[in-house]
Structure 1
Protein backbone atom coordinates (compact mmCIF):
# COMPACT_ATOMS: atom_id res chain seq x y z
CA UNK A 1 0.00 0.00 0.00
CA UNK A 2 1.20 3.45 -0.86
CA UNK A 3 -0.62 6.61 0.13
CA UNK A 4 -1.14 9.25 -2.51
CA UNK A 5 0.72 12.53 -2.19
CA UNK A 6 -0.98 15.49 -0.66
CA UNK A 7 -2.41 18.07 -3.03
CA UNK A 8 -3.72 21.57 -2.73
CA UNK A 9 -7.23 22.52 -3.73
CA UNK A 10 -7.86 25.50 -6.00
CA UNK A 11 -8.34 27.69 -2.94
CA UNK A 12 -5.11 26.56 -1.33
CA UNK A 13 -6.81 24.24 1.17
CA UNK A 14 -4.73 21.21 2.04
CA UNK A 15 -6.42 18.21 0.45
CA UNK A 16 -6.80 14.88 2.22
CA UNK A 17 -4.32 12.15 1.45
CA UNK A 18 -6.33 9.24 0.14
CA UNK A 19 -5.49 5.60 0.73
CA UNK A 20 -4.40 3.47 -2.19
CA UNK A 21 -5.17 -0.02 -0.99
CA UNK A 22 -3.67 -2.80 -3.10
CA UNK A 23 -4.71 -6.10 -1.62
CA UNK A 24 -2.55 -9.20 -2.12
CA UNK A 25 -4.14 -12.50 -3.17
CA UNK A 26 -6.59 -13.27 -0.38
CA UNK A 27 -7.54 -16.52 1.34
CA UNK A 28 -11.28 -17.11 1.97
CA UNK A 29 -12.20 -16.91 5.63
CA UNK A 30 -13.68 -20.25 6.69
CA UNK A 31 -14.02 -19.66 10.40
CA UNK A 32 -17.15 -18.91 12.39
CA UNK A 33 -17.58 -15.54 14.04
CA UNK A 34 -14.56 -13.71 15.41
CA UNK A 35 -12.17 -14.07 18.31
CA UNK A 36 -11.35 -11.27 20.76
CA UNK A 37 -7.81 -10.04 20.04
CA UNK A 38 -7.82 -12.24 16.94
CA UNK A 39 -5.25 -11.73 14.19
CA UNK A 40 -6.70 -11.74 10.66
CA UNK A 41 -4.17 -11.31 7.85
CA UNK A 42 -4.80 -11.51 4.09
CA UNK A 43 -8.35 -12.86 4.40
CA UNK A 44 -11.53 -12.37 2.39
CA UNK A 45 -14.76 -12.34 4.40
CA UNK A 46 -17.33 -12.92 1.66
CA UNK A 47 -20.92 -12.56 2.87
CA UNK A 48 -19.87 -13.68 6.33
CA UNK A 49 -22.53 -13.31 9.02
CA UNK A 50 -20.79 -11.64 11.93
CA UNK A 51 -23.98 -10.79 13.80
CA UNK A 52 -23.30 -10.60 17.55
CA UNK A 53 -19.70 -11.72 16.99
CA UNK A 54 -17.07 -10.51 19.44
CA UNK A 55 -13.81 -9.37 17.86
CA UNK A 56 -12.84 -6.82 20.46
CA UNK A 57 -9.21 -5.79 19.99
CA UNK A 58 -8.85 -7.86 16.80
CA UNK A 59 -6.43 -6.86 14.03
CA UNK A 60 -7.37 -6.95 10.34
CA UNK A 61 -4.43 -6.51 7.96
CA UNK A 62 -4.80 -6.68 4.15
CA UNK A 63 -8.39 -7.93 4.49
CA UNK A 64 -11.56 -7.56 2.43
CA UNK A 65 -14.97 -7.66 4.08
CA UNK A 66 -17.63 -8.00 1.38
CA UNK A 67 -21.40 -7.97 2.02
CA UNK A 68 -20.88 -8.98 5.64
CA UNK A 69 -23.59 -8.64 8.31
CA UNK A 70 -22.31 -6.55 11.23
CA UNK A 71 -25.39 -6.31 13.42
CA UNK A 72 -24.24 -5.69 17.01
CA UNK A 73 -20.76 -6.91 16.10
CA UNK A 74 -18.30 -5.98 18.84
CA UNK A 75 -15.14 -4.54 17.31
CA UNK A 76 -14.17 -2.07 20.03
CA UNK A 77 -10.45 -1.24 19.89
CA UNK A 78 -10.09 -3.31 16.71
CA UNK A 79 -7.51 -2.27 14.11
CA UNK A 80 -8.16 -2.22 10.38
CA UNK A 81 -5.05 -1.63 8.26
CA UNK A 82 -4.80 -1.66 4.44
CA UNK A 83 -8.29 -3.14 4.18
CA UNK A 84 -11.49 -2.67 2.18
CA UNK A 85 -15.05 -2.99 3.51
CA UNK A 86 -17.59 -3.25 0.69
CA UNK A 87 -21.35 -3.52 1.06
CA UNK A 88 -21.21 -4.21 4.79
CA UNK A 89 -24.51 -3.76 6.59
CA UNK A 90 -25.75 -3.78 10.14
CA UNK A 91 -27.18 -1.94 13.12
CA UNK A 92 -25.39 -1.27 16.38
CA UNK A 93 -21.88 -2.13 15.22
CA UNK A 94 -19.44 -1.29 18.03
CA UNK A 95 -16.16 0.20 16.79
CA UNK A 96 -15.50 2.37 19.82
CA UNK A 97 -11.83 3.38 20.10
CA UNK A 98 -11.05 1.39 16.95
CA UNK A 99 -8.23 2.35 14.59
CA UNK A 100 -8.71 2.55 10.82
CA UNK A 101 -5.64 3.33 8.72
CA UNK A 102 -5.49 3.14 4.92
CA UNK A 103 -9.04 1.82 4.70
CA UNK A 104 -11.81 2.10 2.10
CA UNK A 105 -15.47 1.74 3.12
CA UNK A 106 -17.68 1.37 0.05
CA UNK A 107 -21.50 1.28 -0.17
CA UNK A 108 -22.01 0.55 3.52
CA UNK A 109 -25.52 0.43 4.98
CA UNK A 110 -25.11 0.96 8.69
CA UNK A 111 -27.08 2.38 11.59
CA UNK A 112 -26.04 3.38 15.08
CA UNK A 113 -22.35 2.75 14.48
CA UNK A 114 -20.23 3.49 17.54
CA UNK A 115 -16.92 5.05 16.54
CA UNK A 116 -16.51 7.31 19.53
CA UNK A 117 -12.89 7.75 20.51
CA UNK A 118 -11.77 6.08 17.28
CA UNK A 119 -8.80 7.10 15.14
CA UNK A 120 -9.28 7.31 11.37
CA UNK A 121 -6.30 8.09 9.15
CA UNK A 122 -6.29 7.95 5.34
CA UNK A 123 -9.83 6.62 5.11
CA UNK A 124 -12.38 6.97 2.30
CA UNK A 125 -16.09 6.40 2.91
CA UNK A 126 -17.67 6.17 -0.54
CA UNK A 127 -21.37 5.69 -1.28
CA UNK A 128 -23.93 4.06 0.98
CA UNK A 129 -25.84 5.42 3.94
CA UNK A 130 -24.90 5.59 7.61
CA UNK A 131 -27.49 6.64 10.20
CA UNK A 132 -26.62 7.96 13.67
CA UNK A 133 -22.86 7.69 13.23
CA UNK A 134 -21.21 8.34 16.59
CA UNK A 135 -17.80 9.94 16.16
CA UNK A 136 -17.67 11.77 19.47
CA UNK A 137 -14.10 12.48 20.59
CA UNK A 138 -12.78 10.68 17.52
CA UNK A 139 -9.71 11.84 15.59
CA UNK A 140 -10.00 12.02 11.81
CA UNK A 141 -6.99 12.85 9.66
CA UNK A 142 -6.95 12.65 5.85
CA UNK A 143 -10.51 11.32 5.63
CA UNK A 144 -12.87 11.69 2.65
CA UNK A 145 -16.65 11.21 2.74
CA UNK A 146 -17.74 10.87 -0.88
CA UNK A 147 -21.18 10.31 -2.39
CA UNK A 148 -22.63 9.01 0.87
CA UNK A 149 -25.52 9.96 3.13
CA UNK A 150 -24.76 10.69 6.79
CA UNK A 151 -27.98 11.06 8.76
CA UNK A 152 -27.59 12.70 12.18
CA UNK A 153 -23.84 12.14 12.51
CA UNK A 154 -22.36 13.16 15.85
CA UNK A 155 -18.94 14.83 15.65
CA UNK A 156 -19.12 16.16 19.21
CA UNK A 157 -15.66 17.03 20.61
CA UNK A 158 -13.99 15.30 17.65
CA UNK A 159 -10.83 16.60 15.96
CA UNK A 160 -10.90 16.72 12.15
CA UNK A 161 -7.77 17.48 10.12
CA UNK A 162 -7.80 17.54 6.31
CA UNK A 163 -11.28 16.04 6.01
CA UNK A 164 -13.31 16.42 2.81
CA UNK A 165 -17.04 16.00 2.23
CA UNK A 166 -17.74 15.53 -1.48
CA UNK A 167 -21.15 15.06 -3.10
CA UNK A 168 -22.50 13.71 0.17
CA UNK A 169 -25.49 14.58 2.30
CA UNK A 170 -25.08 15.74 5.90
CA UNK A 171 -28.41 15.67 7.72
CA UNK A 172 -28.79 17.14 11.22
CA UNK A 173 -25.06 17.02 11.92
CA UNK A 174 -23.90 17.69 15.48
CA UNK A 175 -20.66 19.69 15.56
CA UNK A 176 -20.76 20.56 19.25
CA UNK A 177 -17.24 21.12 20.55
CA UNK A 178 -15.63 19.93 17.32
CA UNK A 179 -12.18 21.17 16.22
CA UNK A 180 -11.67 21.62 12.50
CA UNK A 181 -8.47 22.10 10.52
CA UNK A 182 -8.55 22.29 6.71
CA UNK A 183 -12.02 20.75 6.50
CA UNK A 184 -13.60 21.20 3.06
CA UNK A 185 -17.39 21.40 2.99
CA UNK A 186 -17.75 23.20 -0.34
CA UNK A 187 -18.79 20.15 -2.35
CA UNK A 188 -21.42 18.90 0.12
CA UNK A 189 -24.67 18.17 -1.72
CA UNK A 190 -26.79 19.00 1.33
CA UNK A 191 -25.47 20.70 4.47
CA UNK A 192 -27.75 20.60 7.51
CA UNK A 193 -26.14 21.46 10.85
CA UNK A 194 -28.31 20.79 13.89
CA UNK A 195 -25.82 21.98 16.51
CA UNK A 196 -22.41 23.58 16.58
CA UNK A 197 -22.60 26.05 13.70
CA UNK A 198 -20.35 28.24 15.84
CA UNK A 199 -17.61 25.58 15.56
CA UNK A 200 -17.05 25.98 11.82
CA UNK A 201 -13.76 27.83 12.28
CA UNK A 202 -11.18 25.88 10.31
CA UNK A 203 -13.68 24.80 7.65
CA UNK A 204 -14.09 26.09 4.10
CA UNK A 205 -17.61 26.64 2.73
CA UNK A 206 -18.92 28.02 -0.55
CA UNK A 207 -20.69 31.39 -1.02
CA UNK A 208 -24.10 29.68 -1.50
CA UNK A 209 -23.55 27.70 1.70
CA UNK A 210 -22.73 30.92 3.52
CA UNK A 211 -26.08 32.36 2.46
CA UNK A 212 -27.89 29.22 3.60
CA UNK A 213 -26.16 29.30 6.97
CA UNK A 214 -26.57 33.06 7.46
CA UNK A 215 -29.70 32.76 9.65
CA UNK A 216 -27.92 30.27 11.92
CA UNK A 217 -24.86 32.52 12.15
CA UNK A 218 -27.05 35.52 12.95
CA UNK A 219 -28.92 33.61 15.65
CA UNK A 220 -25.63 32.47 17.14
CA UNK A 221 -24.42 36.03 17.72
CA UNK A 222 -27.86 37.33 18.70
CA UNK A 223 -28.59 39.36 15.57
CA UNK A 224 -32.25 39.79 14.61
CA UNK A 225 -32.96 39.93 10.90
CA UNK A 226 -36.23 41.65 10.01
CA UNK A 227 -37.60 43.06 6.76
Structure 2
Protein backbone atom coordinates (compact mmCIF):
# COMPACT_ATOMS: atom_id res chain seq x y z
CA UNK A 1 0.00 0.00 0.00
CA UNK A 2 1.26 3.45 -0.86
CA UNK A 3 2.39 5.77 1.88
CA UNK A 4 3.01 9.49 2.03
CA UNK A 5 5.06 11.49 4.48
CA UNK A 6 3.59 14.28 6.61
CA UNK A 7 4.94 16.19 9.56
CA UNK A 8 3.35 15.83 12.98
CA UNK A 9 3.01 18.46 15.71
CA UNK A 10 6.38 17.48 17.13
CA UNK A 11 8.03 18.27 13.79
CA UNK A 12 8.96 14.64 13.17
CA UNK A 13 7.99 12.98 9.91
CA UNK A 14 5.42 10.20 9.96
CA UNK A 15 4.05 7.89 7.33
CA UNK A 16 0.35 8.25 6.60
CA UNK A 17 -1.72 5.59 4.93
CA UNK A 18 -3.30 5.96 1.51
CA UNK A 19 -6.92 5.05 0.90
CA UNK A 20 -7.75 1.48 -0.10
CA UNK A 21 -9.80 1.40 -3.26
CA UNK A 22 -12.75 -0.90 -3.89
CA UNK A 23 -12.26 -3.93 -6.11
CA UNK A 24 -15.70 -4.62 -7.55
CA UNK A 25 -16.12 -7.74 -9.70
CA UNK A 26 -19.75 -8.13 -10.63
CA UNK A 27 -21.21 -11.52 -11.51
CA UNK A 28 -23.53 -11.92 -14.54
CA UNK A 29 -26.46 -9.64 -13.80
CA UNK A 30 -30.20 -10.06 -14.27
CA UNK A 31 -32.01 -7.00 -15.72
CA UNK A 32 -34.47 -5.39 -13.30
CA UNK A 33 -37.57 -3.69 -14.64
CA UNK A 34 -39.86 -3.12 -11.69
CA UNK A 35 -40.24 -0.36 -9.13
CA UNK A 36 -38.34 0.06 -5.91
CA UNK A 37 -39.92 -1.22 -2.74
CA UNK A 38 -39.28 -0.29 0.89
CA UNK A 39 -36.82 -2.77 2.46
CA UNK A 40 -36.31 -4.34 -0.96
CA UNK A 41 -33.67 -7.05 -1.36
CA UNK A 42 -31.77 -6.82 -4.67
CA UNK A 43 -28.98 -9.29 -5.42
CA UNK A 44 -27.11 -9.58 -8.71
CA UNK A 45 -29.44 -7.28 -10.61
CA UNK A 46 -28.88 -4.52 -13.15
CA UNK A 47 -30.90 -1.32 -13.06
CA UNK A 48 -30.27 0.06 -16.53
CA UNK A 49 -31.72 3.31 -17.86
CA UNK A 50 -34.66 3.30 -15.43
CA UNK A 51 -36.58 6.35 -14.29
CA UNK A 52 -36.81 5.82 -10.54
CA UNK A 53 -37.99 9.36 -9.77
CA UNK A 54 -40.22 9.71 -6.71
CA UNK A 55 -40.00 5.99 -5.94
CA UNK A 56 -39.57 4.77 -2.38
CA UNK A 57 -36.99 2.18 -1.42
CA UNK A 58 -35.88 3.10 2.11
CA UNK A 59 -33.97 0.37 3.90
CA UNK A 60 -33.31 -1.54 0.68
CA UNK A 61 -30.26 -3.74 0.22
CA UNK A 62 -28.27 -3.90 -3.02
CA UNK A 63 -25.60 -6.60 -3.29
CA UNK A 64 -23.56 -7.22 -6.46
CA UNK A 65 -25.77 -4.79 -8.37
CA UNK A 66 -25.27 -2.17 -11.08
CA UNK A 67 -27.26 1.06 -11.41
CA UNK A 68 -26.54 2.62 -14.79
CA UNK A 69 -28.03 5.76 -16.38
CA UNK A 70 -30.92 5.84 -13.92
CA UNK A 71 -32.96 8.89 -12.93
CA UNK A 72 -33.17 9.42 -9.18
CA UNK A 73 -35.06 12.69 -8.78
CA UNK A 74 -36.45 12.76 -5.22
CA UNK A 75 -35.97 9.01 -4.89
CA UNK A 76 -36.13 7.81 -1.28
CA UNK A 77 -33.25 5.42 -0.54
CA UNK A 78 -32.75 6.39 3.07
CA UNK A 79 -30.80 3.82 5.10
CA UNK A 80 -30.21 1.73 1.96
CA UNK A 81 -27.17 -0.54 1.82
CA UNK A 82 -24.96 -0.91 -1.24
CA UNK A 83 -22.35 -3.69 -1.14
CA UNK A 84 -20.07 -4.57 -4.07
CA UNK A 85 -21.97 -2.33 -6.47
CA UNK A 86 -21.27 -0.15 -9.50
CA UNK A 87 -23.28 3.07 -9.80
CA UNK A 88 -22.68 4.75 -13.15
CA UNK A 89 -24.18 7.75 -14.94
CA UNK A 90 -26.97 8.33 -12.44
CA UNK A 91 -28.67 11.71 -12.35
CA UNK A 92 -31.08 13.29 -9.95
CA UNK A 93 -32.07 16.20 -7.75
CA UNK A 94 -33.09 15.80 -4.13
CA UNK A 95 -32.18 12.12 -3.89
CA UNK A 96 -32.48 10.94 -0.28
CA UNK A 97 -29.71 8.59 0.81
CA UNK A 98 -29.61 9.72 4.42
CA UNK A 99 -28.08 7.10 6.68
CA UNK A 100 -27.13 4.89 3.72
CA UNK A 101 -24.19 2.49 3.83
CA UNK A 102 -21.80 2.05 0.89
CA UNK A 103 -19.09 -0.61 1.05
CA UNK A 104 -16.91 -1.57 -1.90
CA UNK A 105 -18.78 0.70 -4.30
CA UNK A 106 -17.73 2.57 -7.44
CA UNK A 107 -19.68 5.73 -8.35
CA UNK A 108 -18.84 6.93 -11.86
CA UNK A 109 -19.96 10.11 -13.67
CA UNK A 110 -22.83 10.94 -11.31
CA UNK A 111 -24.79 14.15 -11.92
CA UNK A 112 -26.57 14.97 -8.70
CA UNK A 113 -27.92 18.03 -6.95
CA UNK A 114 -28.90 18.35 -3.32
CA UNK A 115 -28.31 14.66 -2.60
CA UNK A 116 -28.82 13.81 1.07
CA UNK A 117 -26.10 11.56 2.52
CA UNK A 118 -26.12 12.86 6.07
CA UNK A 119 -25.16 10.19 8.57
CA UNK A 120 -24.06 7.86 5.77
CA UNK A 121 -21.19 5.38 6.14
CA UNK A 122 -18.69 4.98 3.28
CA UNK A 123 -16.02 2.26 3.29
CA UNK A 124 -13.84 1.57 0.26
CA UNK A 125 -15.72 3.86 -2.10
CA UNK A 126 -14.48 5.45 -5.33
CA UNK A 127 -16.31 8.51 -6.68
CA UNK A 128 -14.89 9.24 -10.14
CA UNK A 129 -15.93 11.95 -12.56
CA UNK A 130 -19.24 13.75 -12.67
CA UNK A 131 -20.55 16.72 -10.73
CA UNK A 132 -22.38 16.84 -7.41
CA UNK A 133 -23.90 20.09 -6.19
CA UNK A 134 -24.79 20.74 -2.54
CA UNK A 135 -23.69 17.29 -1.35
CA UNK A 136 -24.88 16.79 2.24
CA UNK A 137 -22.45 14.59 4.15
CA UNK A 138 -23.09 16.03 7.59
CA UNK A 139 -22.04 13.61 10.34
CA UNK A 140 -21.16 10.97 7.78
CA UNK A 141 -18.26 8.54 8.28
CA UNK A 142 -15.86 8.12 5.35
CA UNK A 143 -13.05 5.57 5.48
CA UNK A 144 -10.94 4.58 2.49
CA UNK A 145 -12.75 6.91 0.08
CA UNK A 146 -11.33 8.42 -3.12
CA UNK A 147 -12.85 11.40 -4.94
CA UNK A 148 -11.22 11.44 -8.38
CA UNK A 149 -11.70 13.89 -11.22
CA UNK A 150 -15.07 15.11 -9.97
CA UNK A 151 -16.56 18.51 -9.18
CA UNK A 152 -18.03 19.07 -5.71
CA UNK A 153 -19.87 22.38 -5.46
CA UNK A 154 -20.60 23.56 -1.91
CA UNK A 155 -20.27 20.15 -0.24
CA UNK A 156 -21.26 20.05 3.43
CA UNK A 157 -18.97 17.87 5.56
CA UNK A 158 -20.17 19.37 8.86
CA UNK A 159 -19.37 17.07 11.78
CA UNK A 160 -18.20 14.28 9.47
CA UNK A 161 -15.33 11.86 10.16
CA UNK A 162 -12.82 11.36 7.34
CA UNK A 163 -10.10 8.71 7.55
CA UNK A 164 -7.87 7.77 4.63
CA UNK A 165 -9.77 9.98 2.18
CA UNK A 166 -8.14 11.26 -1.01
CA UNK A 167 -9.25 14.06 -3.32
CA UNK A 168 -7.46 13.57 -6.65
CA UNK A 169 -7.67 16.08 -9.50
CA UNK A 170 -10.99 17.36 -8.13
CA UNK A 171 -12.60 20.75 -7.96
CA UNK A 172 -13.92 21.48 -4.46
CA UNK A 173 -15.84 24.74 -4.22
CA UNK A 174 -16.89 26.45 -0.98
CA UNK A 175 -16.72 23.36 1.22
CA UNK A 176 -18.14 23.46 4.75
CA UNK A 177 -15.72 21.67 7.08
CA UNK A 178 -17.31 22.81 10.34
CA UNK A 179 -16.66 20.26 13.07
CA UNK A 180 -14.92 17.80 10.73
CA UNK A 181 -12.44 15.29 12.11
CA UNK A 182 -9.71 14.23 9.69
CA UNK A 183 -7.05 11.56 9.66
CA UNK A 184 -4.83 10.88 6.65
CA UNK A 185 -6.83 13.09 4.28
CA UNK A 186 -4.91 13.97 1.10
CA UNK A 187 -5.84 17.23 -0.63
CA UNK A 188 -2.58 17.83 -2.46
CA UNK A 189 -3.79 17.23 -6.01
CA UNK A 190 -7.08 19.12 -5.74
CA UNK A 191 -7.23 21.34 -8.82
CA UNK A 192 -9.29 24.01 -7.06
CA UNK A 193 -9.79 24.11 -3.30
CA UNK A 194 -12.25 26.51 -1.72
CA UNK A 195 -13.23 26.37 1.94
CA UNK A 196 -16.20 28.44 3.04
CA UNK A 197 -16.18 27.41 6.70
CA UNK A 198 -14.06 25.30 9.02
CA UNK A 199 -10.57 26.00 7.75
CA UNK A 200 -9.41 25.38 11.31
CA UNK A 201 -10.51 21.74 10.91
CA UNK A 202 -7.77 20.85 8.42
CA UNK A 203 -5.69 19.16 11.12
CA UNK A 204 -5.13 15.62 9.91
CA UNK A 205 -5.00 16.65 6.25
CA UNK A 206 -2.01 17.08 3.96
CA UNK A 207 -1.94 19.94 1.46
CA UNK A 208 0.60 21.19 -1.05
CA UNK A 209 2.83 24.24 -0.66
CA UNK A 210 0.87 26.04 -3.37
CA UNK A 211 -2.39 25.33 -1.55
CA UNK A 212 -0.91 26.64 1.67
CA UNK A 213 -0.10 29.91 -0.04
CA UNK A 214 -3.60 30.12 -1.52
CA UNK A 215 -5.18 29.47 1.87
CA UNK A 216 -2.82 31.75 3.82
CA UNK A 217 -5.29 34.69 4.00
CA UNK A 218 -7.99 32.41 5.39
CA UNK A 219 -5.56 30.92 7.94
CA UNK A 220 -4.52 34.42 8.99
CA UNK A 221 -8.13 35.52 9.39
CA UNK A 222 -8.85 32.42 11.47
CA UNK A 223 -6.21 33.31 14.06
CA UNK A 224 -6.95 37.02 13.94
CA UNK A 225 -3.87 38.17 12.04
CA UNK A 226 -4.27 41.25 9.85
CA UNK A 227 -2.08 41.28 6.76
CA UNK A 228 -1.13 44.71 5.41
CA UNK A 229 1.67 46.08 3.29
CA UNK A 230 4.24 48.06 5.18
CA UNK A 231 4.82 51.79 4.74
CA UNK A 232 5.64 52.49 1.14
CA UNK A 233 4.60 48.95 0.17
Same fold judged by TM-score > 0.5?
yes
CA deviation digits over 1:27-53, x for unaligned, max 9? Answer: 00021x200000000001010110001
Q: Does 1:79 align with 2:74?
A: no
Question: Which of 16, 23, 26 is the matching residue for 1:23?
Answer: 26
- Match of 2:174, SS state, is strand
Return structure 1 stretches of 4+ with deviation > 6 angstroms: none
| Distance in structure 2 (CA, Å) of the matches to 1:10 and 1:118 | 29
Shift in Å at residue 55 of structure 1?
0.5
- Match of 2:211, SS state, is helix
Which 5+ residue runs of structure 2 have no aligned equivalent? 7-14
The higher radius of gyration belongs to 2
- Match of 2:196, SS state, is strand
| Distance in structure 2 (CA, Å) of the matches to 1:163 and 1:178 | 13
| Distance in structure 2 (CA, Å) of the matches to 1:66 and 1:117 | 25
**What does residue 196 of structure 1 align with?**
198
- Match of 1:209, SS state, is helix
Which 5+ residue runs of structure 1 have no aligned equivalent? 1-5
Q: How many residues end up aligned between the 2 structures?
A: 221
**What does residue 134 of structure 2 align with?**
132
CA deviation digits over 1:30-86, x for unaligned, max 9? Answer: 21x200000000001010110001000000000000000000000000000000000
Change (3 A) 1:214 1:119: same
**What does residue 3 of structure 1 align with?**
none
**What does residue 13 of structure 1 align with?**
16
Shift in Å at residue 10 of structure 1?
5.9
CA deviation digits over 1:183-220, x for unaligned, max 9? Answer: 00001000000000000000000000000000000000
Question: Alpha carbon RMSD of aligned pairs, Å?
Answer: 0.8
| Distance in structure 2 (CA, Å) of the matches to 1:79 and 1:148 | 23
| Distance in structure 2 (CA, Å) of the matches to 1:39 and 1:9 | 40
| Distance in structure 1 (CA, Å) of the matches to 2:177 and 2:58 | 28
**What does residue 45 of structure 1 align with?**
47
**What does residue 222 of structure 1 align with?**
224
